[in-house]
Structure 1
Amino acid sequence: MSENNCIQYINCHCYMTIQSLQIKARMFSRISLISLIMIPVIWSQDWQVQYSSMMKCALKGSNTHLSGSYKHPNHLTMIKTFWIVNPVKGEETINLVDHPDYKGRVQYSQNKDGIFFLSLSNVTHKDEGMYCLRIVAKEDKYLFFPGIDLKVTELRVEIPEEAVEGKSSILFCKTTCHLSDKTNFTWFKNSKRLSESNVSDQLLLPSVSTDDTGNYSCAVTDHKHLSSPAVTLSVRYPPKSVSVSISPSEIVEGDSVTLICSSDSNPPALNFSWFKENQSSAVGCGQSFIISSFNSSHSGRYYCEAQNKYGSQRSASVSLTSAGDQKAVLYAAAAIGAMLICICIFIVVKKNIRKTGDAGGQSGVSKQEENNSTAVTDQTSAKPPKPADLNESVYASITHSRPREQQRDGDEDEVQYATVQHHRNTRNTTAEDGCQNGNSVSAGSNTEKADDSNVIYSSIKSS
């Protein structure tokens, strides 16, 4: 082997040896670094550093807290401890208190257990990054990397692609990072809080109706002022309240007539069909149905049917008639009404005539009976009794009248019988002798005895 070759070999060997040593040194430094940054506790030559967590999710606009604790070797004298963000090798680190992007939003504190806190207010997306503890000792400076990875999120409501009436739907309150498991949520509809019992990040609508339509938002219970942007939930439903309007309102033969079909639906109905009663097939389609020249053959009852992808509904029927037909109908109705009124008047008048006739007949009969009774009485009192009749006293029939109103219809006249007794003088004194002697003859005298064989019955008519 030549000398030059030997030198090259040595040089090459030396170079390879040096390169191998460099690679080994790098591997050793990486292994040492890995051992230094063990999560969540970092050990390095009697150093012990522990962060509260290696990842933190904060709500935009809120205040967040990061913390870490450490133990240092006894031979070191601590001078200063602070937090830095996103350290870069070879660059000087800046205390967050002095950082222009954090000025006035950073506070440090330490409790009796040696835990060092960082309080960051009004968090924004610019604050995302790696937060590490920086410790300055009298002897040296120490940086403990990696630290806490801070993520900032906003809330947003996620609604289903379509909420159909009658079906269930779920709304979600979404974040870009995971908040604490103990986080409670509050739901709002049209800026009004919904049920307090629901603290989940999901809102269940078991049976959706049109009343559920509105603007929904959510918020973390402890930060209600940081609610999500409102999202509109639009409930889909088939056509409702389908109706038909007619233009013009008064139709004359030869005029153009337009029927318009209206409905309430979501999405709006796009398919409209027109039907005429007593016809099996549709007579037209589209939201408007136009009859260019109206005549009597077009008269009838029409209705429309509106349809969207969720269902259909028909309207009530409307009647189409020309003005002449309408007048004829009105005249006919007026004639029938007048006829009915005449019939009613005739019936009322007839009833009144009957009542008047009955009352007049009853009054005439009563007066006639009263006159007859008076006449009989007068004749009886004016005529002196014959001598042949003095032996027997005859009593006239008595008619008792009562108002006909008290009689029930169909009742027959009641007949009552009264006993008329004929008495003889026990002393065989005739009526004539008695009158001559000045004695009065009475039907109830104690000097007379009733002769049962001379009993006369007289009917008493009760009317």
Structure 2
Amino acid sequence: MSKLLLPTLPLIFLLMIHNAFSGYWDVSYSHPHICALKNSSVIMSCTYAYPTGYQIMKTFWTNGSVKGVEPPDLSKDPEYSQRLQYLGDEQKNCTIRLSHVTQKDEHMYYFRFITDKPDKKWIGVPGVSLTVTDLQVESPERVTEGDSVRLTCKSSCALTDRATFIWYRNSQPLTERRDGNNQLLLQSVRREDAGRYSCALHGHTYISPAVYLNVMYPPKETFVVVSPSGEIVEGDSVTLSCSSDSNPPAEISWFKGRMFVGSGRIYSISKISSDHSGEYKCKSRNKNGERYSDAVTLNIMYPPKSVSLSINGSAEIVEGDSVTLSCSSDSNPPALNFSWFKENQSSAVGSGQSFSALQSGRFYCEAHNQYGSQRSDAVTVTVHGETIIYSMWKIMCFFNLKPHKHISLHQIHKIMFFLSSYGHHMTPLIASDIVNLIHPFLFFKSL
């Protein structure tokens, strides 16, 4: 077999060739896959190499790599020109910063350099993959007071930069919750923990959309408010309102004493009366529990009613004695003024809750308070034996007695009638009062 032998070249010439064309074409990226937070800045670290003997004429970054088409220079693109900054020396270090990234920036990015040799252009594939993520708070829809709750700050990809998470409740930072963990643990959650939670990364301006944590709890601080708050007079309209702190909102029931009287947050009474007086309370109830308010008392002011008169003893007495009459009424405040009247007389005959009657007649009382007055029914008092002056009466006594007898004296009810008769004789007598004389021999007729 024959061999083709090349002439031996001088060693010095070989060394010259090696120095002229030694090296290789290369672009290296520190992070070929970058996950960046929305609105943050991204550092794409890059180095490149090329054989000696070439001169770099142009370097740039591009997000397009189509065979046969010269890729665009991002520094000339209006979408990037204000946000892209070269950090390297453009000789060996091709690192850049891309600011305020959004989902529109999700592309493959490549570094390209062009040498002084027309056919020696290089693009660094496979390039850098950029994914832009936002943050989302993952939370249970509702929790019950006392439960343990875990909230998670989630991203669509694993963030490239080491992240320190910050949590917010109602836009206020929870400084004690700052750590490298993307979870927030609330042990034995309280109603005060309810609110809108969001998360962020330390050193970044982007904050996640807020998510409401709904803490369910039984009714607390249940109380009744009465309107109007001052004095209540019969005939007024009164509103009772039940306030209760609970989640979900409580169903409200109303009680007067132990008796159910209504439902709903508002209990209204129009034209209130004394029958509405008493203690009222409300009960608030949801699926987590129930609670009663303290009782409030409705003290209704009203004028005297049901005024009645009572007699101590008999209504029939004899002259010289007296009968005590007492007046009572239902009123608020209690009646303190009582007046006594005798029928057919315009002026009062007495005052006070009790009255002593000395004369015959029909008597009634009137009870008074600052809201009005009412009179009682009248009662009759009869006094026997009292002297009453009438006009003179002629009383004729007719009698027919055999044999003739002398009727000397009849005394009935302390009134004396003197009668004398002899045969058929009729004697006129003057009487101081009319009395019924029950006697088998006498018949009186007034003329």
TM category, shorter: 0.5 to 0.7
Query: Which of 231, 249, 259 pairs up with 1:268?
Result: 249
Secondary structure of the 1:94 match is coil
Q: Show the 5 A alignment for 1:168-317.
A: 168-180=148-160, 182-189=162-169, 190-195=171-176, 198-223=179-204, 225-248=205-228, 249-269=230-250, 271-279=251-259, 282-317=260-295
Q: Measure the CA separation in 1 of the matches of 2:158 and 2:335.
A: 76
Matched, 1:126 2:126: no
| Displacement of 1:112 | 11
Q: In the superposition, relative to structure 1, how do residues 69 and 247 fare at CA in structure 2: closer, same or farther (>3 Å)?
A: closer
Structure 1's unaligned 5+ residue stretches are 1-44, 332-463
Matched, 1:103 2:81: yes
Secondary structure of the 1:50 match is strand
Match of 2:14 in 1: none
Secondary structure of the 1:126 match is helix
Q: In the superposition, relative to structure 1, how do residues 109 and 253 fare at CA in structure 2: closer, same or farther (>3 Å)?
A: closer
| Displacement of 1:109 | 4.2
| Displacement of 1:229 | 4.5
Match of 2:334 in 1: 328
Q: Measure the CA separation in 2 of the matches of 1:99 and 1:296.
A: 87
Match of 1:23 in 2: none
Match of 2:135 in 1: 155
| Larger fraction in strand | 2
What is the CA RMSD across the aligned residues, in angstroms? 3.3
Counterpart code for 1:143: I
| Displacement of 1:330 | 11
| Displacement of 1:168 | 2.0
Match of 1:399 in 2: none
Counterpart code for 2:140: P
Q: Percent identity?
A: 45
Match of 2:145 in 1: 165
Secondary structure of the 2:104 match is helix
Structure 2's unaligned 5+ residue stretches are 1-22, 303-330, 338-447
| Displacement of 1:252 | 3.5
Q: In the superposition, relative to structure 1, how do residues 213 and 154 fare at CA in structure 2: closer, same or farther (>3 Å)?
A: same
Counterpart code for 1:185: F
Q: Is the 8 A contact 2:274 2:301 kept in 1?
A: no
Counterpart code for 1:239: P
TM-score after normalising by structure 1:
0.53
Q: In the superposition, relative to structure 1, how do residues 266 and 76 fare at CA in structure 2: closer, same or farther (>3 Å)?
A: same
Q: In the superposition, relative to structure 1, how do residues 284 and 196 fare at CA in structure 2: closer, same or farther (>3 Å)?
A: closer
Q: Is the 8 A contact 2:242 2:252 kept in 1?
A: yes
Counterpart code for 1:155: L
Match of 1:66 in 2: 44
Q: In the superposition, relative to structure 1, how do residues 164 and 181 fare at CA in structure 2: closer, same or farther (>3 Å)?
A: farther
Q: Measure the CA separation in 2 of the matches of 1:193 and 1:288.
A: 39
Q: Deviations over 1:404-447 (max 9, x none)?
A: xxxxxxxxxxxxxxxxxxxxxxxxxxxxxxxxxxxxxxxxxxxx
Q: Measure the CA separation in 1 of the matches of 2:43 and 2:286.
A: 54
- Equivalenced residues, count: 283
Secondary structure of the 2:110 match is strand
Query: Which has the higher Rg, Structure 1 or Structure 2?
Result: 1
| Displacement of 1:260 | 2.2
| Larger fraction in helix | 1
TM-score after normalising by structure 2:
0.55
Q: Measure the CA separation in 2 of the matches of 1:167 and 1:152.
A: 35
Q: Deviations over 1:294-344 (max 9, x none)?
A: 44443321211112333221111112232145413999xxxxxxxxxxxxx
Secondary structure of the 2:334 match is helix
Q: In the superposition, relative to structure 1, how do residues 109 and 243 fare at CA in structure 2: closer, same or farther (>3 Å)?
A: closer
Secondary structure of the 1:86 match is coil
Q: Measure the CA separation in 2 of the matches of 1:160 and 1:170.
A: 8
| Displacement of 1:100 | 2.3
Q: Measure the CA separation in 1 of the matches of 2:111 and 2:240.
A: 79
